[in-house]
Structure 1
C-alpha cells in the first residue's frame, strides 16, 4: 500500500499495520494471506531460471523465502529503519545465520563481556570451534574497544539493554570507535524493540531481534530476525539461512508475528509505564539492595538510556539484601507473576539466572554465569497486567507473604 504524504513518512504505528500490503491486491482480504506451501511453480523454465539467478524477484522454495515471510521482513525493516531483513526460526537462529554468513576461520569478533547465556555459549564455545576468535571487552567504557581491535577483527557485537542485567550501552559511542577501525557494529535490541530503540539511527550497521519476545509479544511462538543493508541481508539469506542453518520461520509463525506487530507500539508504552512504577517501588523497598532499570532516575546510565530509547521497556533486574536464599524464597511466594524463563510477554515473568545455572550444571558442568551476573540477581519481565496488582504481588512476596 502506497500513500503519498508530502515530505513525511507514514508514522510508526501506521506502518506496523499497513506497510508492504494492499488488501485490494489480495481479493480484498484485510488480513494478509498465509502462503502454506513448501515450493513454488513457474510458467516455464526460463522464469524459474530468472528467479534462481536473482534477475527478477520471486519465490522458489520455502526454506529460502516465502511471501508471508517477505511481508514480515519488509514491515520490521521499515520500523527499524533498515533496507532489508531476514527472518529465522528463533533469535539464536538469526544470530547464528548472521555470524556464519559474515565470519570465516581466522576472523575475530569483539563482543561485550555480558550477553544472553545462549549467545555466550555460541561466542564462547561455538564460534571458536570453527576457527573464529572471540574477544570479550567491557564496552560500558567504549574506549576499551580500540585496544582490542586487530587486523583480523570483523564485527563488534553487543546487546542493549543487556540480558539479563538490563544494563545499557552507548550505541553511538561504540559505533563511532568501531567505524574508525573499519568495523561493522551488530546490536541485539530485543529488550527494547524498534518501538523504543532503533540502533541504526545511532550508528549501528546491523540489528538482531528475538521475535519470540516483544515484537510478537504473546509468548506463543519462536522467531528471530536480522536487519540491515540489502547487500548484507542478501548474503545472510543465501548463505546463513539457505544452507548453513536452514532455520526458516514458518509461514504460520510469520503471520502470528505480523499480528503481534500491529500492537507493538501501544504494548511497549504500557510495558514501560508498568515497569517504571514497579522499578520505583522496588527501589524504595527496604528488602531490595539494587534495581537496574534504564529509566529509573537512580540508574547510573539513565542519561544514556534516555538518549537512545523512547521508553524504558519492561525489563529490569534486582537483588535483595537477603541474597540468593532470600531471592529463591521471595520468588516462591509470588502469586501473580509467573516463574518462567522467557520475556516480553503480556504476562509478567520472573527468573533467577543463578538458580537456573545450578540446575544446568547437572547436565552441563562447564556452564557459568556471565560477567556481571551475580548469584543474587533476578530478571523481571513486566507484562500488561494492572501495575497496582504487580506491585501488590511483589510487596507481599518481599514482605514474607
Structure 2
C-alpha cells in the first residue's frame, strides 16, 4: 500500500497537488473522477441503514456527500491548515452557513464596516428577520473592535483584506480580543488565500472562501468553502449547509475547483507579482489620487502586511482618480479609463487568469446605500483591479496606453 503523505511536513505546492487526490480505487485513474450522480446504491438494506445512521462510512445522496466533493474538501482543509472543510455551491453559501452556525435570535454580530456587498446585504436586510442584531466597526482599528463588542455579542465577522478598500485586519489581535470574551471569529479570506494569509493559524475559528476566485482560478466554476475544526463543522454540515440552505456543490464544480487548486502556488506567485507592478505604476501616475495596496511601502498598513503576508501582497488593488481631470466628474473619468483598456476586461469577480477592472460604486457595491459607501470610502473615483496572469510588461503597457486618454 502506498505510504500516506504527512502534509504538515510538506510545502504548500506539494499539498495543493496531492492532498485529497489518490488514484481511483476502481480503475486506478490518476485524476479524481467526477461522480456525477444524485444517489448511491447499497448492496443490502442493512448497509443502507448503517450508512444513513453513520455507523458505516459511505455515500447515500450527493447533497449529503459525494466522493468528488470529499476529495475537494480534503484539499481545502490542507489549504488553510484546518481539520476539516465543507464545500458549498457558492461563497455566499459558505457565509450563510458560518453565520447561522454561531448566531441565533437575540444575539449580536459585530462585522467589518467594509465588506463584500452581498454579505453586507445579508447583514443589513436578512438577519434582522431572525432578530439578530448587527453593527459594524473599523476592523483595522483594534480599539474600535473592542469598543463595538456588546454583552450579547456572539460573533466577529470580517474580511482579512476588505473589499474594495484593501484594508488589512490584525487577525491575531482581534481573535485574542474575541476569545477573551468567549466570542467566535469568522474571517472571509477570499482576497488573501494561502500562501498569503492563514487566519486559522492566527486564531480565527472559521475561515470562509469564495472558491470561485483565486482557489479555482479559472473563472469557470462557482463555489465556496468553510474551513476549521471538525467539531465546529460537523453541526454546520448536518443541519445547515445540507438541509436548511442546501448549498452542496455539484460534483462537476467540485472537480473544476479541485483541478484548479493544483496550480495554485504558481498562479498566486504571478498574481502577486503583477499586482505589485500595477500598484507601483499607479502610485507614480499623475492622474491617480491614491492607491490602496498594502504591499506598497507608502501604505499605512505596510508593516502589518509584512508581518502577516510575508511578501505575498496579493493581486487585487484599488485606486482613486484625482478630481476634475479634464473637467470631468469622477464617474465619467473612471468610465473613460475603463473603456480604454484592451487587455483587462471590465468585469466583477477576481482571481481569473485575465486581469479584471471594475467601478465599485456602480458595480460590485452599487446596491450599497450611497451614504454607507461614502462612509466606507467607496467614492465614484474608485476603480478595483484584479491583476491576472498576463505578461507584466504587456499589462503595464496597456495601463500606460489607457491612462493616456486622460492626458
Query: TM tier, shorter chain?
Result: over 0.9
Q: Distance in 1 between matches of 2:275 and 2:230?
A: 36
Q: Distance in 2 between matches of 1:2 and 1:124?
A: 50
Matching residue of 2:175: 175
Q: Distance in 2 between matches of 1:156 and 1:293?
A: 24
Q: Distance in 1 between matches of 2:265 and 2:392?
A: 18
Q: Distance in 1 between matches of 2:362 and 2:15?
A: 41
- Is 1:345 paired with 2:352? yes
Matching residue of 2:87: 87
Matching residue of 2:116: 116
Q: Which stretch shifts more, 253-262 or 322-331?
A: 322-331
CA contact (8 A) 1:155 1:184 kept: yes
Aligned length: 397
CA contact (8 A) 2:24 2:32 kept: no
Q: Distance in 1 between matches of 2:12 and 2:364?
A: 39
CA contact (8 A) 1:106 1:133 kept: yes
Q: Which stretch shifts more, 45-54 or 226-235?
A: 45-54
Matching residue of 1:400: 405
Q: Distance in 1 between matches of 2:148 and 2:154?
A: 12
Q: Distance in 2 between matches of 1:379 and 1:48?
A: 51
Matching residue of 1:375: 380
Q: CA deviation at 1:45?
A: 2.9
Matching residue of 1:141: 141
Matching residue of 2:265: 265
Matching residue of 2:314: 313
Q: CA deviation at 1:256?
A: 0.6
- Is 1:196 paired with 2:201? no
Q: Distance in 1 between matches of 2:247 and 2:19?
A: 25
Matching residue of 2:245: 245
Matching residue of 1:331: 338
Q: CA deviation at 1:2?
A: 4.0
SS in 2 for 1:399: helix
Distance change (3 Å), C-alpha of 1:148 and 1:18: same
Residues 1-400 of structure 1 mapped to structure 2, 5 A cutoff: 2-3=3-4, 9-23=9-23, 25-310=25-310, 311-322=312-323, 323-356=330-363, 369=373, 371-400=376-405
Q: Distance in 1 between matches of 2:198 and 2:15?
A: 15
1:77-114 CA deviation, whole Å, 9 max, x = no partner?
01210010111111011111222233211111110111
Distance change (3 Å), C-alpha of 1:11 and 1:49: same
SS in 1 for 2:314: coil
Q: Distance in 1 between matches of 2:81 and 2:8?
A: 14
Distance change (3 Å), C-alpha of 1:61 and 1:315: same
Stretches of structure 1 that go unaligned for 5 or more consecutive residues are none
SS in 1 for 2:332: helix
Distance change (3 Å), C-alpha of 1:20 and 1:375: same
TM-score for the superposition, normalised by structure 2? 0.93
Q: Distance in 2 between matches of 1:165 and 1:218?
A: 24
Q: CA deviation at 1:8?
A: 5.9
Q: CA deviation at 1:165?
A: 1.5
Distance change (3 Å), C-alpha of 1:8 and 1:140: closer
Distance change (3 Å), C-alpha of 1:4 and 1:249: closer
Q: Distance in 2 between matches of 1:11 and 1:365?
A: 44
Q: Distance in 1 between matches of 2:301 and 2:244?
A: 39
Q: Which stretch shifts more, 44-53 or 250-259?
A: 44-53
Q: Distance in 2 between matches of 1:32 and 1:347?
A: 27
Q: Which stretch shifts more, 246-255 or 19-28?
A: 19-28
Q: CA deviation at 1:158?
A: 0.4
Q: Distance in 2 between matches of 1:201 and 1:380?
A: 28
SS in 2 for 1:36: coil
Q: CA deviation at 1:185?
A: 0.8
* CA-based RMSD: 2.0
Distance change (3 Å), C-alpha of 1:113 and 1:270: same
Q: CA deviation at 1:143?
A: 2.1
CA contact (8 A) 1:275 1:313 kept: yes
Q: CA deviation at 1:146?
A: 2.2
Q: Which stretch shifts more, 253-262 or 23-32?
A: 23-32
Distance change (3 Å), C-alpha of 1:326 and 1:122: same
Q: CA deviation at 1:368?
A: 5.7
